[in-house]
Amino acid sequence: MRRKSALSNGTAGVRDVPPDGQPTASAAAAVTRRSAVAEEQAFLDLAAARRDTLADHLQVELSSPALDAVEGARQRLLRQQYDELRQAREGLVFGRLDGLDGTVRHVGRIGLRTDAEGSEPLLVDWRAPAARPFYTATAVDPQGQARRRHIRTTGSTVVGVDDEPLDGTTTAELVGEGALLAALDQRRTGRMSTAISTLQREQDDIIRAEATGPLIVQGGPGTGKTVVALHRVAYLLFTHRTMADQAVLVLGPSPRFLQYIAQVLPALGETAVVSATCDTLLADVHVSRDESRPLAEIKGRAVWQSALEGYVASLLPRPRELKLRWEGEFYVLPAETVAQALTSAVQGRPYHRARAAFAEQVHHLLADVVAEQREALMDEMEEGFEDILARVDHSMGHDQFPARTATGSDADGLLSEEEIEQLRSRIAENPTIARFITAWWPTLDAATLLTDFLADRALLARFAPQLTPEEIVAVAAEPAGWASSDIPLLDALADLLGDVDAPPPPGEFVADRARRQRSWVYGHVVIDEAQELSEMQWQMVLRRCPSRSITAVGDIDQAEAAHRHTSWAQAVQAVFGDRWTAAELTICYRTPREVMDLTGPVLTKAGSHNTPPRAVRSSGIAPWELAITPAELAAAAVEAVRQLQRRWHGGTVGVIAPASRIAELRTALGDTPVLTAGQSKGLEWDATLLIDPEGIAAEPRGWNGLYVALTRCTQELGQLTLTEQPPAT
């Protein structure tokens, strides 16, 4: 016998009855499930109607033009709300919590309220505190909940429900295990979908963690690192509304990856987001050439930050006497005065902003010198004039001429404060003075300056003494054009120089303005595949978020970049020191157990000290391997891909191979994605065909690359190994 749930519409189980014409237990359970689906369909219809009503109301309000700036700001907020409602069509409702006190809360992509003032929300936003038990309640810690229900929908139709009693009658180790495994078994489409209905507790803990400093999340393949990172963006923007005023920067490893995740944040209702790679952070600069791994490693070191700081400091003008012409007369600012003005102007300011501060001081100093010289001249004239008057008075009598009265500079030669301020304004607006200061303190171009610096061995030896003579020769010998490792150096130099009176860029939305402005300061930065960042790329991140409100997710064991970091402590030491928080994702949801069992020996050979994540699902398909000769490669790959595509019709198939095999395979396979291990980072397919695993392992950091390649599939892994001898028949 099984007890019936105390909930009126429960699906935890039904009581068995004798076969006397009454429904069997399984039939009764099916009836109960249909009833639950119908109940949730009715609620979904209600929520969808409310969403449409609110969207229609907002559309009417948005139809009227804004009359002033205040109304314009209000309309931008309404437009954001309207877009959020319009986008929340798929998965509007996906969960329900039944409290021990009888309360029922539905959880969805957005929050919805009824017209009744003070009423409970019709639908709770997944980011709201009230929704958290949906992700964290367990039978051991029910958090006031009696049951959790996962509601599966397709468009506007409820297609199923999965119930979890939270009273100790279930032993499932995953939240919403049925819904989660169903989602994981779905075909891959080449675009990432949201996972708000199936987030697990360790993922939710990271998503809702405080944004008070750098949070570094270690997670192996398939642990949901990217899902966590993107949902954390949505949560932070929802919880900290002021963060939307500054926008959030999402850094990914490649344009292909950014395309893969492109729909996730808009689907979650977030638009105050800028997505980029480290190579595309400078809007007007493009990588135009490749470079060797040794050079990429050299130019990724933190030493370049101090080297460039020293170089720019050496370009500041040296104090000397300045002779300025004003209204036909020359005036001198002594070297000591100029030195004091220089010291005051620099004080941590970028080169060009320091010049602007110095120019302002020169305007004041010159005005003071002009006023002082005028006063001295008037004093001399007054003394001579008084001598003449004295002689005239003596000869003509003192009573013939009455006393003169005057005010301001006419009275005693002294300029009033108002007159001195007017003089300063005239000096500041004078183009001749401006040209003089610019000639003495010239405008510098970051791109030209960096090109010259990197090509000059003497400068490199002077400002980067940590480099060996051989490394200096290698850097100076690089051809023209920008390589990937040059971008962080150019960014650092542009920051040290500062903008030259650049006006804020136009743009209606904050993300548009942030994207166009190099010096924009973001409210938060999220980095995916963070293990690939060099020390200089980390400096790029810090410049854009000096508050250090940063979330970085990655797997240090999947590092493929040229740097030699094998731990997170090594990777972030140069930027954060010890001031960062570590978190870990331990459960692999994507990669099936059959494939994860292959990764242990590979990680050992890669020198890893981490425990691989624990796979929670099995695809039931054992990885297979086929030995072929190099001459057979193209034909064998075409046939293997054809079979995989047939088996996983409606899903995706990807091919991973050593860099030396890519061109041949792309020609043979046409539209099928053929990538190196590094290019496949962050991606997933239903089936993966791995070409020449030994060749991948032989590449730089190859065991780490092979670890990546092995773990891209959600269902099936096939391997084509190369041998010089035809396989025995």
Q: Is 60 exposed, middle or buried (0-12, 13-18, 19+ CB in 10 A)?
A: exposed
157-167 pLDDT, tens digit per residue, is 998 888 888 87
Least confident segment among 72-81, 282-291, 419-428: 72-81
121-137 pLDDT, tens digit per residue, is 999 988 889 988 888 88
Residue 498 DSSP symbol: -
The rounded percent of the chain whose pLDDT value lies above 70 is: 83
375-407 pLDDT, tens digit per residue, is 776 666 555 555 555 565 555 444 444 444 444
CATH entry 3.40.50.300 includes domain 593-722: yes
243-278 pLDDT, tens digit per residue, is 878 888 999 888 877 776 666 666 555 667 888 999
Q: Is 569 exposed, middle or buried (0-12, 13-18, 19+ CB in 10 A)?
A: middle
Torsion of CA 237, 211, 527, 574, to 10 degrees: 150
Q: Is 221 flagged in the annotation as binding?
A: yes
C-alpha dist (Å) from residue 528 to 197, 512, 578: 22, 22, 21
Q: Is 213 flagged in the annotation as binding?
A: no
Q: Which among 720, 719, 714 is positioned nearest to 651, based on CA atoms?
A: 714
- Asked whether the predicted pLDDT for residue 16 surpasses 50, the reply is no
CA atoms within 13 A on the CB side of 489: 26
Q: What is the reported pLDDT for 143?
A: 87
464-516 pLDDT, tens digit per residue, is 999 999 999 999 999 999 999 999 999 999 999 998 765 555 555 677 888 88
Q: What is the reported pLDDT for 406?
A: 45
Q: Which residue has the higher pLDDT, 505 or 145?
A: 145
- Asked whether the predicted pLDDT for residue 660 surpasses 70, the reply is yes
Residue 119 and residue 125: Cα distance in Å, rounded?
15
Phi–psi pair at 654, nearest 5 degrees:
-125, 155
Phi–psi pair at 78, nearest 5 degrees:
-65, -40
Q: What is the reported pLDDT for 8?
A: 36
**Contact status, residue 266 vs residue 88, Cβ threshold 8 Å:** no
Q: What is the reported pLDDT for 346?
A: 94
Residue 107 and residue 124: Cα distance in Å, rounded?
5
Side chain identity, residue 546: P
Q: Is 226 flagged in the annotation as binding?
A: yes
Side chain identity, residue 312: V
- Asked whether the predicted pLDDT for residue 188 surpasses 70, the reply is no
3-state secondary structure 648-665: CCCCCEEEECCHHHHHHH
Mean of the per-residue pLDDT values of the chain: 84
22-76 pLDDT, tens digit per residue, is 556 677 777 888 889 999 999 999 999 999 999 998 888 888 887 777 777 788 7
Q: Is 223 flagged in the annotation as binding?
A: yes
CA atoms within 13 A on the CB side of 253: 24
Question: What is the domain partition of the chain in residue ranges?
Answer: 25-186, 225-312+447-588, 318-384+417-440, 593-722
**Contact status, residue 324 vs residue 333, Cβ threshold 8 Å:** yes
The rounded percent of the chain whose pLDDT value lies above 90 is: 50
Helices (H) and strands (E) in the chain, counts: 29, 20
Q: Is 170 flagged in the annotation as binding?
A: no
Strands (E), 4-129: 93-99, 104-108, 124-125
**Contact status, residue 163 vs residue 148, Cβ threshold 8 Å:** yes
Q: What is the reported pLDDT for 357?
A: 95
Q: What is the reported pLDDT for 398?
A: 47
Q: How confident is the model at residue 197 (pLDDT cuts 50, 70, 90)?
A: low
Side chain identity, residue 419: E
504-531 pLDDT, tens digit per residue, is 555 556 778 888 889 999 999 999 999 9
Q: What is the reported pLDDT for 432?
A: 92
Least confident segment among 16-30, 288-302, 556-570: 16-30
The model's pTM is 0.73
Q: What is the reported pLDDT for 462?
A: 97
Q: What is the reported pLDDT for 664?
A: 95
Q: Is 224 flagged in the annotation as binding?
A: yes
In this structure, the strands spanning 93-99 and 104-108 are: antiparallel
Residues 6 or more apart whose CB falls under 8 angstroms from that of 45 comprise 156
- 247 CA to centre of own chain: 10
Q: What is the reported pLDDT for 268?
A: 58
- Asked whether the predicted pLDDT for residue 363 surpasses 90, the reply is yes
